[in-house]
Structure 1
Amino acid sequence: MRAFRVAYDGRPYHGFQRQPQVPTVEDAVFDSLRALGVLASDADAPEGYAAAGRTDAGVSAVAQTVAFECPDWLTPRAFNGELPEHVRAWASADVPDAFHATHHAASRAYDYHLYAPTADVDRAAAALASLEGTHDFADLTAASEVDTTRTLETATVVREGDVLRVHVRADGFLWELVRRIVALVRSVATGDRGLDAVDRALAPEPLPDHERVGPAPPEPLVLVDATYPDATFERDSEAAASAAAAFESAHATAVSRARVTGALRDGVDAGSNSVDDDRR
């Protein structure tokens, strides 16, 4: 059994897990294994297959982890030979036959890159500090699970220019939990809600619908870690370099597009000011 670290840009996909009629990251993984002859054409999944998590549509990952039975020659660089350029394997670990990438993850961590130039980072940090610990997160999830109690081990924020990078680590996550935490924190950091809104979201009494927060957009969310105490991942330098190059190319394109939209914004703003001046 071997486990692989897989990074991907999730924006072109309808989530990680396979769904009918739409492209998913898992489809790309299985298509690659079929092309390599590791997965039979009539098989649903490799023997022993499991993944660390099921990221939503638009969500990306640095350290998604998939594990399955495979031949010794299947290294990350061999895997990448058939994966699309925005899905890259970059490390691997030999694991016991009983290893399960979902159930054996001791914790998972996400970063959310929140564009919030006017947000108060201290208020955001105070809101996140109140969310740390073991709580019932029923009012911060779209999940219908009976047990909605989780332990948020770490919840921090740092300002990086106009962006707040929110980092959360937990023993497990509920559907949309991170994105709803971010939405709640943003509302506190911008002054739309008081800090007591966090306490109300964690209280035993269910929130009325008008007080519940919806999820923040999925695209700024990244799965950055999944920890396995008994697995030691070895970085494949060639595979990691090719992954970095592929994502650097995508990053350069995104920066250029952001510059264009910024120029449009500034141009329209300057134009509107000149129109106002002419009218005066």
Structure 2
Amino acid sequence: MRAYRAAYDGRRFHGFQRQPDVPTVSDTLLAALRELDVLADEADAPPGYAAAGRTDAGVSAVAQTVAFDAPDWLTPRAFDSELPPDVRVWAVAEAPPDFHATHDATCREYVYHLHAPTESVDDERATAALDALRGEHDFHNLTPDDDGTVRDLDGEIDRDGDYLVVRVRAGGFARQLVRRLVALLDEIARGERDLGTVDRVLAAEPLPGPAGVPAAPAEPLVLADVTYPDLNFERDPEAAASAREIFRERRVRHATRARVAEDLVAGVGSESAE
């Protein structure tokens, strides 16, 4: 049994979990294993195959973890040889035969990059709201799930230019929990809800219709880390270097597009464009 760390840009994927007729990260990983003859034609997945988490559509990851019975020659570099550029395997760990990537994770960390210029939000209100959400609570009002909603949450918020970087940790997360939590923090920081909303969200009664909290957009969310105390991941230097270069190039392309968008905003707003 081996566990592999995978990083991916989630924007073109319809989440991690396999789905018919749409691209997913899991389907991409399994297709690579089939091309490498690790996965038999008639098999859906290798023996023991499991992943650390089922990220939603558009969510990216640094440390998604998949584990399965793998041949000795399947290094991260070999894995990457059949993967598209937006999915990179960069580290590997030997795991015991009964290891399960989902159940054996003790902590998962997500990071959300919330666009929140200082003139629009109150950082102290955002921090106070997160402080009120920390600890063990039933987060049933922040997820569509009916079970697995009690979580012991920790986290912090840091200011980075026009962004609030919201970092949260727990043993696991119900569906959309992080994105709805961020949306709640954002609304409180903007003064659209009061701090007392946190108490109402954590109350036993379901929030009715308009009082419910919608999910924040998925693209700013990253699965940043998954903790397995008994595993020692070894970074593959060549695979990691290749991943950094690929994602660096993607960053430059998107930064360039952002500059073009700035020209469009400025041009539409200028008198010379009339």
Please, what TM-score do these two structures have when normalized by structure 1?
0.95
Residues 15 and 58 in structure 1, CA contact (< 8 A), matched pair in contact too: yes
2:145 aligned partner: 143
Q: Counterpart of 1:144 in structure 2: which amino acid?
A: D
How far the C-alpha of 1:247 sits from its partner, in A, is 0.4
Q: Counterpart of 1:169 in structure 2: which amino acid?
A: R
Residues 77 and 239 in structure 1, CA contact (< 8 A), matched pair in contact too: yes
Runs of at least 4 residues of structure 1 off by over 4 A? none
Secondary structure (helix, strand or coil) at the match of 1:185 reads helix
Distance 2:262 2:122 in 1: 23
Secondary structure (helix, strand or coil) at the match of 2:158 reads strand
How far the C-alpha of 1:120 sits from its partner, in A, is 1.6
Secondary structure (helix, strand or coil) at the match of 2:21 reads coil
Residues 16 and 57 in structure 1, CA contact (< 8 A), matched pair in contact too: yes
1:133 aligned partner: 135
1:166 aligned partner: 166
2:58 aligned partner: 58
In the alignment, does 2:12 pair up with 1:27?
Answer: no
In the alignment, does 2:268 pair up with 1:268?
Answer: yes
Per-residue CA distance 1:2-54 (angstroms, 9 max, x = gap):
00000000001111011001010111101110111111111100111000000
How far the C-alpha of 1:148 sits from its partner, in A, is 1.6
- Give the superposed CA RMSD: 1.2
Of 122, 125, 128, 1:120 maps to 122
How far the C-alpha of 1:214 sits from its partner, in A, is 0.4
Please, what TM-score do these two structures have when normalized by structure 2?
0.97
Distance 2:204 2:34 in 1: 49
Secondary structure (helix, strand or coil) at the match of 2:11 reads coil
Secondary structure (helix, strand or coil) at the match of 2:207 reads coil
Secondary structure (helix, strand or coil) at the match of 2:157 reads strand
2:49 aligned partner: 49
Residues 131 and 155 in structure 1, CA contact (< 8 A), matched pair in contact too: no
Per-residue CA distance 1:44-101 (angstroms, 9 max, x = gap):
0011100000001000000000000011111111111111110000001000000000
2:103 aligned partner: 103
1:223 aligned partner: 223
Secondary structure (helix, strand or coil) at the match of 2:12 reads coil
1:278 aligned partner: none
Unaligned runs of 5+ in 1: 276-280
Distance 2:43 2:84 in 1: 21
Secondary structure (helix, strand or coil) at the match of 1:156 reads strand
**What number of residue pairs does the alignment pair up?**
272
Unaligned runs of 5+ in 2: none
Q: Counterpart of 1:16 in structure 2: which amino acid?
A: F
How far the C-alpha of 1:245 sits from its partner, in A, is 0.6
Per-residue CA distance 1:155-177 (angstroms, 9 max, x = gap):
21111111111000011100000
How far the C-alpha of 1:205 sits from its partner, in A, is 2.2
Residues 48 and 67 in structure 1, CA contact (< 8 A), matched pair in contact too: yes
Q: Counterpart of 1:149 in structure 2: which amino acid?
A: V
Q: Counterpart of 1:188 in structure 2: which amino acid?
A: I
Distance 2:88 2:81 in 1: 9
